[in-house]
Amino acid sequence: MPKTRILSGMRPTGKLHLGHLFGAIANWVELQRDYECFYMVADWHALTTAFMDTEDVKENIRQVCMDYIAGGLDPEKCTFYVQSHVPEIAELYQLMAPLVPVSWLERTPSYKDQIEQLGQELANFGFLGYPVLMTCDIIAFKAEVVPVGQDQLPHLELCREIVRRFHHYYGQVFPEPHAKLTQFPNVPGIDGRKMSKSYNNSILISDDSAAIKKKVKMMITDPQKIYKGDPGNPEVCTVYYFQNIYNPDKVSEIHKGCTSGELGCVADKNSLAEAMIKGLAPVQEKRKVYEENPQLIDDILARGCEKARKAAMETLKDAKRAMKML
């Protein structure tokens, strides 16, 4: 029996951070054994908000792909490709467009929120169509499972509605995909808010030890714990959040030390920084192989693209056949 297909991707916004690593890639790594996985870089999606400056897109695609592999995805097991290298997705987008009432798109939370936050410039046709493009990313591969963060759930809901509409008019072609949420949906940044490039609170997968030490030192701890000796609440502490990941054997001891006041934040941070540097070392070592030879990345993406196009072409044919256009 063929394996169930998984599809997910990220926009090429630059080097990835620990929020991406634990919030997404770790989840993808788990899935690569049991599913047929397509992991892409969504450069068309990046354009919907960053069309004014396309200077870095190509390099950012490479950087994201390096982080995918450094984070544990195996190019022998997964198919990596760049969205814009699979034009069949755009053709499918054209076929889907008439099925989507504009009101559905205007209601999408990310559309409304981002315009409020980033300005009217985003109120463009491409950004409005973001969820339709994402739908085509998924259905072009007949993917059934889509590992994403919580923020993407409304997009997936819309995807299913579009699929149902297609089936209503033309007959069954696509599976209705469902989301698979990650174990760590809200990785905090060093300021305690969700880790995000736009908040400038990230620790990058590729940060060197000096940067890691500096950022861990800046991490927000329990504001009630001012001096060593004050009892702290680990549940509101970013350092503690990451201790769970990087010092899992010591967390109960750390919890005890913090709540009793015996453990000070400085010592806590030092032990985290050390463990984080150690934990990221093998990831960065793997990354270095590709940094030194980016041609390897280009080759992996070219191979992936070939495979992806073959799959998308088949689906496109199925869709056109259902629409009696072939």
Residues that bind ligand TRP (CB under 6 A): 7-11, 42, 45, 134, 137-138, 146, 148, 152
Q: How far is the CB of 97 from ligand TRP (least distance, A)?
A: 16
CB atoms within 10 A of CB 233: 14
Which DSSP string corresponds to 263-293?
S-HHHHHHHHHHHHHHHHHHHHHHHHHHHH-
Amino acid at 172: Q
**What phi and psi, each to the nearest 5 degrees, are found at residue 146?**
-130, 100
For ligand TRP, which is the closer residue by CB, 12 or 264? 12
The nearest distance, CB 11 to ligand TRP, in angstroms, is 5
Instruction: Mention every residue, 6+ apart, whose C-beta is less than 8 A from residue 66.
Output: 287, 290, 291, 297
How far apart are CB 40 and ligand TRP at their closest, in Å? 7
Q: Which is nearer to ligand TRP, 134 or 316 (CB)?
A: 134
Closest approach of ligand TRP to the CB of residue 7, in Å: 5
Q: What is the DSSP string of 75-98?
A: TTTEEEEEGGG-HHHHHHHHHHGG
- How far, in Å, are 11, 142, 174, 244 from residue 36 at the CA level? 21, 11, 16, 30
| CA torsion through residues 55, 58, 64, 70, sign | negative
Token readout for 211 is 């940067």
Q: Rank residues 146 and 219 by Cβ distance to ligand TRP and give the closer one.
A: 146
Nearest approach in angstroms of CB 166 to ligand TRP is 17
The helix-helix angle for 57-70 and 265-292 (nearest 10°) equals 110
Identity of the residue, 126 or 279, whose beta carbon is nearer to ligand TRP in the bound complex: 126
- Residue 50 Cβ vs ligand TRP, minimum distance, rounded to whole Å: 12
| Residue whose CB is nearest to ligand TRP in the complex, by number | 42
Minimum CB distance to ligand TRP, residue 123 (Å) = 18
Nearest residue (CB) to ligand TRP, 138 versus 322: 138
Q: Where are the alpha helices (DSSP H) in 119-264?
A: 125-128, 130-139, 153-170, 209-218, 238-246, 251-260
Question: To the nearest whole angstrom, how small is the minimum distance from the Cβ of residue 293 to ligand TRP?
Answer: 27
Q: Is 181 helix (H, G, I), strand (E, B) or coil?
A: strand
Q: Residue 24 or residue 263: which is nearer to ligand TRP going by CB?
A: 24
CA 232 from chain centre, in angstroms, equals 33
Q: Which is nearer to ligand TRP, 16 or 146 (CB)?
A: 146
Is the Cβ of residue 159 or residue 216 nearer to ligand TRP in the bound state? Answer: 159
